[in-house]
Chain A
Amino acid sequence: MNAESNFTKKDFTPSGEVKWCAGCGDFGILSQTIKVLSETGKSPEEFAFISGIGCSSRFPYYVDTYGFHTIHGRALAIATGTKIANPDLSVWVAMGDGDGLAIGGNHFLHAVRRNVDMVCILMDNQIYGLTKGQFSPTSFRGQKTKTAPLGTMEDPIDPVALTMGLNGTFVARTSDRNPKHMHEVITRAYKHKGFSLVHVLQNCPIFNDGAFEKESNKETRADATLMLKQGEKMLFGKESEKCIVSTGFSPKVALVADVDEKDILVHDEHQAGLGHFLAQIQGENFPKPLGVFIEREAPTIDQEYVTQNNSVIEKKGRGTIKSLLEAGDTWTVG
């Protein structure tokens, strides 16, 4: 990313052991994240990694930057304070689907809404791993887990659709089994000024193995995913023989051979309407879109605080204890 980066992956890799289960998707996410960090040109101490509780929330211990492993669900609220206090830090939040969308759901809404300038990596394995196999808010209806032995009775949250609905300024999805794509998406998320959601389809080999097998397996992923590329037609399938066309407000899968070429949708990351449309693509007959759904510019809360404070200080001068206390209606005795 930055040809002049003086850092290597090693500079961001602490000496301690990484304690995820063998085969956990988090390893790949960690590796690509460290790669991106080493390419930014920033030194390790300029980064702050903040997490809540869960398997993925061990992340801060595994990157050699400043790190804060906090409490369940609260990483985004804590990171919001860190970023507003010190906008110079590059703030990253690592979270899982339970941590970020169940107990931390409220903070998620508001971090997106405030457009806090940070990268939020949501490692979604559709299960609670650290507590050993209960359903999460992204588990599909009917998913059998220890707390839903006959299958869950609730619909899942789609993190991308949720964030689009909150007018997120950067929303992307990638897969733990596609390092190149993951690297590209995390790099873009880092470069975006504002709240960047990176939704990673992540495999939990112990409690929910194969949840995203279709989207990850080299044999099937060409048919099961739609790789979004700016300015390019939405084609998928091994031979790019399938495409997405729009019929009114609904997407439709068609064979390229069967449609007029100009009816095939072309991806545009800057069109929120299209992003919403893509976020709604789901179900057996549709591929899962991966890539950047939206990227748009908007003020970030951390910079808004800087701007307001600076404008007041420029106008009034920096306050002192004297100016603070000897204000309003004062009177003198003696």
Chain B
Amino acid sequence: MPVADIEPLLSIHGVSKSFGGIKAVDTITFDVGAGESVGLVGPNGAGKTTLFNCVCGQLRPEEGDIIFDGSPLLGLPTYKRARMGIGRTYQRVEVFTDMTVRDHLLVAERSRQGEGRLWRDLLNLSKPKQEEMDRVDATLELVGISNLADVSVNALGLGHCRLVELARALATEPKILLADEPSSGLDLHETAEVAAVLRTVQRERGTAVLLVEHDLTMVAEVVDRAVVMDLGAMLFAGTFDDCMADPAVRDAYLGQMGRA
């Protein structure tokens, strides 16, 4: 879909974030349309995860605005941004130790419904309903981990934990999914599975995807266009093929080899 035809869902305008004297994100500006899939790529230390943290509210940018679905995000806590429809997976896996895979998704499901009142718990009205369990099962099926539903994440390897994270984020039915290196630690087969899931949620559910990823083959499979960052600054924005052909991008990624 041409970029101009898509209404912006997430608008990042001139966002900057520094740590001490280092400018980790330097006046970054780009949009992600509703249902669009955008790759955010760049070498290590480019500031991609920092930008994600600014969007999700885990960090407060020093400059710039972030607009989501027409509402400014700055000043809102993380949980309110999540309730507005921002889902996320993490570069360093963040799972709930001791909990089963199904319970991970139930936390997300309940949060999506905005339910979690103490009086409901005290009146024993908090048992998972059948429709909730069905939605959880459908998400597990989508991500391909139904067989692990009742397994504690303590028993899972890194690859499965990444899939649990993805399923958990999707269970909130986000309008946009911020996927931070979802293929990190996965083998080729698992990476292809994750790419397929991301394509499916984008095309069938209309979920926008902002993907941070080093595996450029996966990025090429999943995204409509790409934004390239290096040392906190934006190098390039455009289609993935144009991006890979850009000399500055090649230089940032491959250095001397790229120029050769």
- A and B: real partners? no
Chain B positions near chain A (C-beta within 8 angstroms) = none
Q: Give the B-binding residues of A (Cβ under 8 A).
A: none
